């Protein structure tokens, strides 16, 4: 059953990228992240009460709570990097780099969670890495380094790094608590972190400047993220992180399809081959 939750996570995560891109055309990315986190928090705690798991809060161990908090902090850092990268760069360039967290997650799962990796899975990881490499053109990285306002490439790499930490820390933390409750606790940490960044940067006044249309997309992306998280951590609770994470990253297929119809972004032949390799490697990781 966990594999269906992982697939659901991938779908909603793919939709999230498109909705978020629509919501940060003019709005500041940090402010947009903070606003959408409020929506996710409400959605997450609503699911806790629907599942009736709120009574388990007092029974959560210190270790579980610690890793949930750390996982939430890693998620917050990943989000801030990701949405900044989306604002600066092409969505079809940013998303593949973000999805490279799959490779690091597998390595970390092998080291810290002792999830074994066979030779066929090792080949699948290599195929995923090759696919990501093909989807990132050298000229894109060079151009990003010359940007004065920031580099989408560096932000995307930061997003991938923190996303991989999220999966590992989340796997450890979610093992001792009901998945919906664990997701809600993590989201609370992300909310505090996101708004802290906004106030430290003095951007709180930017909230009022968000256009209604963009605010709608930001809120919808929050709902999609909440749905993705609930599916992801339910899958993570029952399935191995080294398999759940790659399936979740199939959200790139949803993102590429929607970005074509919504933003008119097309893949060239090299990028298309890269996407096929990335998809094939991910599917192989789930089946092997």
CB 266 within 8 A of CB 93: no
Mean pLDDT over 26-49 rounds to: 90
- Tell me, letter by letter, the H, E, C secondary structure of 54-102: HHHHHHCCHHHHHHHHHHHHHHHHHHHHHHHHHHHCCHHHHHHHHHCHH
Number of domains in the chain: 1
Indicate if the pLDDT at residue 192 is higher than 90. Answer: yes
Q: Give the domain range for residue 99.
A: 2-287
User: What's the pLDDT band for 191 if we cut at 50, 70, 90?
Assistant: very high
Report the pLDDT value the prediction gives residue 150, as an integer from 0 to 100: 47
* Integer CA distances (angstroms), 49 to 109, 126, 202, in order: 31, 42, 35
145: confidence class by pLDDT, cuts 50, 70, 90: very low
Q: Looking at per-residue confidence, does 90 or 26 come out higher?
A: 26
Residue 39 has pLDDT above 90, yes or no: yes
Mean pLDDT, to the nearest integer, of 18-30?
A: 84
Band (69; pLDDT cuts 50, 70, 90): very high
Res. 137 pLDDT band, cuts 50 70 90:
low
What pLDDT score was predicted for residue 220? 93
What is the average pLDDT value for the chain, to the nearest integer? 83
- Contact of 72 with 188, CB cutoff 8 Å: yes
Q: Please determine, for residue 174, whether its predicted confidence score (pLDDT) is greater than 60.
A: yes
Q: Is the pLDDT assigned to residue 143 strictly greater than 70?
A: no
Cα–Cα distance list, 129 to 116, 201, 253, 266 (Å): 19, 36, 16, 21
Whether residue 146 is predicted with pLDDT greater than 60 in this model: the reply is no
Please compute the mean of the pLDDT values over residues 151-166 and round it to a whole number: 88
Phi and psi dihedrals of 65, rounded to 5?
-65, -40
pLDDT at residue 171 in the model: 80
Q: Tell me the range of 126-135, 136-145, 222-231 where mean pLDDT is highest.
A: 222-231
Name the nearest CA neighbour of 170 among 42, 61, 72, 77: 72
Enumerate helices (H) and strands (E) in the chain, giving the number of each.
13, 0
Nearest CA among 103, 229, 101 for reference residue 157? 101
Q: What is the largest CA-CA distance in the chain?
A: 55
Mean pLDDT of 267-287: 83
Task: Give percent of the chain with pLDDT exceeding 90.
Answer: 16
Mean pLDDT for the stretch of residues 56-78: 89
33 pLDDT more than 70 = yes
Q: Determine the Cα–Cα distance for residues 61 and 98; give it in Å rounded to an integer.
A: 32
Q: How confident is the model at residue 162 (pLDDT cuts 50, 70, 90)?
A: very high
Rg (CA), the chain: 18
């Amino acid at each position: 059953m966990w594999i269906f939750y992982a697939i659901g996570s991938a779908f909603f995560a793919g939709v999230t990228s498109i909705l978020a891109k629509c919501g940060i055309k003019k709005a500041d990315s940090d402010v947009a992240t903070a606003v959408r986190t409020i929506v996710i928090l409400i959605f997450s705690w609503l699911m806790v009460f629907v599942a009736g798991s709120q009574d388990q809060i007092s029974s959560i161990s210190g270790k579980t709570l610690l890793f949930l908090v750390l996982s939430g902090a890693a998620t917050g850092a990943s989000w801030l990097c990701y949405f900044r990268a989306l604002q600066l760069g092409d969505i079809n360039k940013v998303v593949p780099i973000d999805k490279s967290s799959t490779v690091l997650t597998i390595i970390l799962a092998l080291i810290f969670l002792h999830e074994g990796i066979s030779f066929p899975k090792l080949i699948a990881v290599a195929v995923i890495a090759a696919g990501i490499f093909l989807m990132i053109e050298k000229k894109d990285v060079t151009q990003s380094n010359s940007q004065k306002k920031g580099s989408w490439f560096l932000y995307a790499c930061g997003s991938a790094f923190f996303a991989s930490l999220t999966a590992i820390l989340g796997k450890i933390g979610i093992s001792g608590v009901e998945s919906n409750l664990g997701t809600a606790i993590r989201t609370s940490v992300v909310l505090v972190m996101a708004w802290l960044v906004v106030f430290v940067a003095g951007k709180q006044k930017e909230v009022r400047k968000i256009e209604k249309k963009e605010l709608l997309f930001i809120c919808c992306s929050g709902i999609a993220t909440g749905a993705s998280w609930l599916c992801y951590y339910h899958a993570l609770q029952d399935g191995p992180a080294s398999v759940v994470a790659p399936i979740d990253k199939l959200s790139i297929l949803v993102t590429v399809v929607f970005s074509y119809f919504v933003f008119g972004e097309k893949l060239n032949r090299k990028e298309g081959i890269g996407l096929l390799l990335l998809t094939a490697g991910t599917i192989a990781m789930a089946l092997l």
